Protein backbone atom coordinates (compact mmCIF):
# COMPACT_ATOMS: atom_id res chain seq x y z
CA UNK A 1 0.00 0.00 0.00
CA UNK A 2 1.35 3.43 -0.87
CA UNK A 3 -0.17 6.54 0.67
CA UNK A 4 0.47 9.88 -0.97
CA UNK A 5 -1.64 13.06 -0.80
CA UNK A 6 -4.71 11.18 0.43
CA UNK A 7 -4.44 8.56 -2.32
CA UNK A 8 -4.23 5.03 -0.94
CA UNK A 9 -2.96 2.73 -3.68
CA UNK A 10 -2.89 -1.00 -3.07
CA UNK A 11 0.26 -2.30 -4.76
CA UNK A 12 -0.47 -5.96 -4.11
CA UNK A 13 -2.43 -8.21 -1.82
CA UNK A 14 -1.65 -11.70 -0.59
CA UNK A 15 -2.81 -13.98 2.15
CA UNK A 16 -3.53 -17.52 3.18
CA UNK A 17 -7.18 -18.03 4.09
CA UNK A 18 -6.25 -21.45 5.46
CA UNK A 19 -3.76 -20.12 7.99
CA UNK A 20 -4.69 -18.28 11.15
CA UNK A 21 -5.47 -18.34 14.84
CA UNK A 22 -7.72 -21.38 14.59
CA UNK A 23 -4.85 -23.45 13.16
CA UNK A 24 -2.66 -22.49 16.13
CA UNK A 25 -5.52 -23.44 18.47
CA UNK A 26 -5.89 -26.82 16.73
CA UNK A 27 -2.23 -27.67 17.34
CA UNK A 28 -2.66 -26.92 21.03
CA UNK A 29 -5.93 -28.87 21.25
CA UNK A 30 -4.28 -31.93 19.65
CA UNK A 31 -1.31 -31.57 22.01
CA UNK A 32 -3.61 -31.63 25.05
CA UNK A 33 -5.80 -34.46 23.71
CA UNK A 34 -2.57 -36.51 23.49
CA UNK A 35 -1.55 -35.41 27.00
CA UNK A 36 -4.96 -36.40 28.41
CA UNK A 37 -4.64 -39.79 26.70
CA UNK A 38 -1.14 -40.28 28.19
CA UNK A 39 -2.17 -39.25 31.70
CA UNK A 40 -5.61 -40.87 31.91
CA UNK A 41 -5.61 -43.55 29.17
CA UNK A 42 -8.78 -42.01 27.71
CA UNK A 43 -9.39 -40.52 24.27
CA UNK A 44 -11.56 -37.40 24.38
CA UNK A 45 -11.28 -36.64 20.65
CA UNK A 46 -14.72 -38.10 19.84
CA UNK A 47 -16.47 -36.22 22.64
CA UNK A 48 -17.62 -32.94 21.06
CA UNK A 49 -18.39 -31.22 24.35
CA UNK A 50 -15.01 -32.08 25.90
CA UNK A 51 -13.14 -30.97 22.77
CA UNK A 52 -15.16 -27.72 22.64
CA UNK A 53 -14.34 -26.96 26.29
CA UNK A 54 -10.68 -27.78 25.67
CA UNK A 55 -10.63 -25.56 22.56
CA UNK A 56 -12.06 -22.61 24.53
CA UNK A 57 -9.35 -23.09 27.17
CA UNK A 58 -6.67 -23.32 24.45
CA UNK A 59 -7.86 -20.08 22.80
CA UNK A 60 -7.59 -18.36 26.19
CA UNK A 61 -4.13 -19.88 26.79
CA UNK A 62 -2.95 -18.70 23.35
CA UNK A 63 -3.95 -15.13 24.22
CA UNK A 64 -2.22 -15.39 27.60
CA UNK A 65 0.98 -16.60 25.92
CA UNK A 66 1.19 -13.36 23.94
CA UNK A 67 1.91 -11.50 27.18
CA UNK A 68 3.20 -14.28 29.50
CA UNK A 69 5.70 -17.09 29.07
CA UNK A 70 3.35 -19.70 30.54
CA UNK A 71 -0.39 -20.35 30.59
CA UNK A 72 -2.47 -22.66 32.75
CA UNK A 73 -5.37 -24.78 31.61
CA UNK A 74 -7.84 -25.78 34.30
CA UNK A 75 -10.99 -27.60 33.24
CA UNK A 76 -13.17 -29.25 35.88
CA UNK A 77 -14.69 -32.57 34.89
CA UNK A 78 -13.44 -32.46 31.30
CA UNK A 79 -14.26 -36.09 30.55
CA UNK A 80 -15.88 -38.84 32.62
CA UNK A 81 -15.56 -36.70 35.75
CA UNK A 82 -11.81 -36.22 35.32
CA UNK A 83 -10.45 -32.73 36.02
CA UNK A 84 -7.76 -31.58 33.58
CA UNK A 85 -5.19 -29.23 35.06
CA UNK A 86 -2.10 -28.58 33.00
CA UNK A 87 0.01 -25.79 31.57
CA UNK A 88 1.91 -24.86 28.44
CA UNK A 89 4.93 -22.62 27.96
CA UNK A 90 5.29 -20.09 25.19
CA UNK A 91 8.31 -22.07 23.94
CA UNK A 92 6.24 -25.26 23.65
CA UNK A 93 3.43 -23.37 21.89
CA UNK A 94 5.99 -21.98 19.42
CA UNK A 95 7.40 -25.48 18.90
CA UNK A 96 3.94 -26.93 18.17
CA UNK A 97 3.33 -24.23 15.56
CA UNK A 98 6.84 -23.66 14.18
CA UNK A 99 5.98 -24.61 10.59
CA UNK A 100 2.73 -22.62 10.62
CA UNK A 101 4.47 -19.55 12.03
CA UNK A 102 7.16 -19.77 9.33
CA UNK A 103 4.36 -20.12 6.77
CA UNK A 104 3.01 -16.69 7.72
CA UNK A 105 5.95 -15.17 5.84
CA UNK A 106 4.94 -16.74 2.50
CA UNK A 107 2.16 -14.20 1.79
CA UNK A 108 4.53 -11.38 2.83
CA UNK A 109 7.10 -12.53 0.28
CA UNK A 110 4.39 -12.96 -2.37
CA UNK A 111 2.99 -9.46 -1.76
CA UNK A 112 6.47 -7.96 -2.17
CA UNK A 113 7.10 -9.97 -5.36
CA UNK A 114 3.72 -9.01 -6.86
CA UNK A 115 4.31 -5.33 -6.04
CA UNK A 116 7.85 -5.61 -7.47
CA UNK A 117 9.24 -4.18 -4.25
CA UNK A 118 12.26 -5.08 -2.19
CA UNK A 119 11.78 -5.35 1.56
CA UNK A 120 14.24 -2.47 2.00
CA UNK A 121 11.70 -0.20 0.24
CA UNK A 122 9.06 -0.77 2.93
CA UNK A 123 8.66 2.21 5.28
CA UNK A 124 6.06 0.85 7.70
CA UNK A 125 4.94 -2.63 8.72
CA UNK A 126 1.40 -2.50 10.10
CA UNK A 127 0.12 -5.56 11.96
CA UNK A 128 -3.40 -6.73 11.05
CA UNK A 129 -5.31 -9.58 12.72
CA UNK A 130 -5.27 -10.93 16.25
CA UNK A 131 -2.55 -13.51 15.56
CA UNK A 132 -0.04 -10.72 14.89
CA UNK A 133 0.04 -10.29 18.69
CA UNK A 134 1.93 -13.60 18.96
CA UNK A 135 5.52 -12.65 19.87
CA UNK A 136 7.09 -15.32 17.63
CA UNK A 137 5.17 -14.05 14.58
CA UNK A 138 6.31 -10.50 15.38
CA UNK A 139 9.91 -11.70 15.72
CA UNK A 140 9.80 -13.61 12.42
CA UNK A 141 8.38 -10.55 10.68
CA UNK A 142 10.88 -8.17 12.25
CA UNK A 143 13.77 -10.50 11.35
CA UNK A 144 12.46 -10.83 7.79
CA UNK A 145 12.54 -7.02 7.49
CA UNK A 146 16.11 -6.94 8.85
CA UNK A 147 15.19 -5.78 12.36
CA UNK A 148 12.86 -2.96 11.30
CA UNK A 149 10.47 -1.86 14.08
CA UNK A 150 6.88 -3.00 13.59
CA UNK A 151 4.13 -0.37 13.68
CA UNK A 152 1.91 -1.30 16.62
CA UNK A 153 -0.07 1.95 16.74
CA UNK A 154 -3.25 0.37 15.33
CA UNK A 155 -5.24 -2.30 17.17
CA UNK A 156 -4.68 -5.39 14.94
CA UNK A 157 -8.23 -6.62 15.63
CA UNK A 158 -9.71 -3.37 14.37
CA UNK A 159 -7.39 -2.38 11.49
CA UNK A 160 -9.52 -3.96 8.75
CA UNK A 161 -12.70 -2.48 10.24
CA UNK A 162 -11.15 1.02 10.21
CA UNK A 163 -10.35 0.68 6.51
CA UNK A 164 -13.81 -0.70 5.75
CA UNK A 165 -15.44 2.20 7.62
CA UNK A 166 -13.43 4.78 5.67
CA UNK A 167 -14.24 3.06 2.36
CA UNK A 168 -17.94 2.88 3.31
CA UNK A 169 -17.94 6.61 4.08
CA UNK A 170 -16.33 7.38 0.71
CA UNK A 171 -18.71 5.12 -1.23
CA UNK A 172 -21.78 6.51 0.53
CA UNK A 173 -20.83 10.03 -0.53
CA UNK A 174 -19.88 11.27 2.94
CA UNK A 175 -18.68 14.86 2.52
CA UNK A 176 -16.99 15.29 5.92
CA UNK A 177 -13.46 16.65 5.80
CA UNK A 178 -12.11 13.39 7.27
CA UNK A 179 -12.77 11.52 4.02
CA UNK A 180 -13.41 14.12 1.31
CA UNK A 181 -9.83 14.08 0.01
CA UNK A 182 -9.27 10.33 0.23
CA UNK A 183 -9.15 7.93 -2.70
CA UNK A 184 -8.59 4.18 -2.60
CA UNK A 185 -7.10 2.48 -5.65
CA UNK A 186 -7.34 -1.27 -5.10
CA UNK A 187 -6.07 -4.32 -6.94
CA UNK A 188 -8.12 -7.39 -7.79
CA UNK A 189 -7.09 -9.91 -5.11
CA UNK A 190 -7.98 -12.98 -7.20
CA UNK A 191 -7.76 -13.64 -10.91
CA UNK A 192 -10.61 -12.12 -12.87
CA UNK A 193 -12.00 -13.54 -16.09
CA UNK A 194 -14.12 -11.49 -18.46
CA UNK A 195 -16.31 -13.31 -20.96
CA UNK A 196 -17.01 -11.50 -24.26
User: What is the model's pLDDT at position 166?
Assistant: 83
Whether 116 and 155 have beta carbons less than 8 Å apart is answered as no
Residue 3 has pLDDT above 70, yes or no: yes
Confidence label for 189 from pLDDT (cuts 50, 70 and 90): low
Q: What is the pLDDT of residue 118?
A: 96
Which domains are delineated in the chain? 2-17+104-185 (3.30.420.40), 21-98 (3.90.640.10)
Which are the contacts of 138, defined by CB distance < 8 A and separation ≥ 6? 127, 132, 150
Q: What is the pLDDT of residues 124-149, one digit of tens each?
A: 999 988 899 999 999 999 999 999 99
Half-sphere exposure in the Cβ direction for 70 (13 Å, CA): 3
**pLDDT tens by residue, 85-120:** 999 999 999 999 999 999 999 999 999 999 999 999
Amino acid sequence: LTIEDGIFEVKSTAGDTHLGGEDFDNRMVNHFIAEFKRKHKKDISENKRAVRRLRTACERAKRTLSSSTQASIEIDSLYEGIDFYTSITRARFEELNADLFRGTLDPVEKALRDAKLDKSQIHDIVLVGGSTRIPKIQKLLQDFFNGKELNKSINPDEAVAYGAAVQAAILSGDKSENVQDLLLLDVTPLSLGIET
